[in-house]
Structure 1
Amino acid sequence: MTISENPVEWPVSAPEPGKAGPTGRRGASFDDGLMGVALLAGPANVIMQLARPGVGYGVLESRVESGRVDLHPIKRARTTFTYLAVATKGTEAQKAAYRRAVNKAHAQVYSTDDSPVKYHAFDKDLQLWVAACLYKGGVDVHRLFVGELDAEKADQHYSDGMNLGTTLQVPPEMWPPNRAAFDEYWQRSLERVHIDDTVRDYLYPIAASRVRGVKLPGPIQRRSEDFALLITTGFLPQRFRDEMRLPWDERRQQRFDRVIAVLRAVNDAVPAFVRQFPFNVLLKDVDRRIRKGIPLV
């Protein structure tokens, strides 16, 4: 099953509640044990977000060194996944606290006279793009690991997706009013996607899951990077593969499908609390950090 440029490809006829959908599996809510496997799509989603030049250079030139994924991948991953957990599952108090923490960091992210593009982390249009990428990534993960949502659940998930933007600076009226409007927004936004050599060089190690300072023996390193590139490229729509110059063909697609099939079976077999890791733990960590005055980002 390929990742489409179009983020919402729902069935024409929605399955009845409790009945098997197009994949032969029973309907499930959007976040039904998919939080853990969603981590697999993380590098691809980072590439999608940074494919808008304002976001790409904003991250690449960021003065907030502790938040740079190339320098501190584990901390950056914790911050990003915590944001997703708070935006989708958090209380209003958690959202408010995380918004204040992120805003403090974002205040230091803006272009200079030497920057090739103009940007500011408080740019609502760029924040909407980031939220849209997160929403689309979630839909793609659900499609691959569960199947299509019926129309009612798809609408509910889309409405909930607004929190990905409004948890920061995006006003509710900027979020496209329905899924059809989102499709139009997405297609228009693809025209503004461009990854130049500088941003591509920054993103390639992320696509290959290279960890700064960690070097495995040659053959193991190559196999590890090949596998990471397969997963990352498989989760990318073709437009972003082209911008990253990542090759893709039928053989790679079939290999990706086989890997996803195995992971889907494993994910279905493990207990719910394991499937929801690390997001269930991160929400508790937010409360701990607030209580003890530990920085959230």
Structure 2
Amino acid sequence: MAIQRRRFLAVAGSGVAAGFAGCAAVSDGNGDEGDGGPAISGESITLTTTTSTYDTGLLDEVNLSFEERYGVGVETVSEGTGAALEHARNGDSDVVMVHARSLEDEFIEDGYGVNRRDLMFNDFVVVGESDDPAGISGAEEITEAFEEIAATESTFLSRGDESGTHTKELEIWDAAGVDEFGEWYQERGQGMGEVLSQTNQGGGYTLADRGTYLSMQSDIDLEILVEGPIEGGPELLANPYGIVAVNPAVHENVEYDLAMAYIGYLTSVEGQKIIAEYAVDGEQLFFPEALAEEPNFQQYVPEDWERTTDD
């Protein structure tokens, strides 16, 4: 989907001002605040997000519900996490939904994102053909599985697109101590759905998010060989998603109030219920994470930020 570049403010230096928090009150369509009918009409926001949220069909479900309630259109651009955040840095989107916390933290630390919220999670899995030439099926540690793939020089298809999945894959190779790659390692520069299709056609292994795999399971002959934490696998394969508003102090053109309305809706009881109930062939693809009896306040700021106090 083509994106029209928007006008934005030039930012001097590496630090930029933090944006204001909050969301404008919504009206009932008659100029009064209330909860009767659509709050805003004739407006739209641009969401940049990962291919996994788009390919699974989840966004069709949640965006339609948001649009029907508030009369606000959602223009969705699906790419890898890196590209989605880059468009937001350039002022080409109003809100970002991605799944690479290290890249989200950098986005916030650089001043481009505000009001981050935990949204949902699933996990990553290693999939491949049933013959499993590297013998990784049922491996308890993902690092051991990656070591065996490298040692046997079994074909591995990488997203290679700076997406959240690619970022996680590189993290695993690093943890496994694998730093030399031969012809067996193939970077495709494609989205998750396309890489799964290519793995199905040509053989080999790939790292996939569970949601996209399940949404395509009936059309491919790949099996889950290494499970993630949802099915008792290693925590290193956890796959949390966050949602972040683009900072209006950096890009004055962004639809900040509408972005916050969208974030508020997806993290509300209603939005989280839609996420929890979304399934393909009876399989739940994502698990809501915004609502908790004991909120995780660390979600709002980069993970390495610490509170300091004066003695």
Q: What TM-score bracket applies, with the shorter chain setting the length? A: 0.3 to 0.5
TM-score for the superposition, normalised by structure 1: 0.32
Q: Report which of the two structures shows the higher radius of gyration computed on alpha carbons.
A: 2
Structure scoring higher RCO (CA < 8 A, sep ≥ 6) equals 1
TM-score for the superposition, normalised by structure 2: 0.31
Greater helix share, structure number = 1
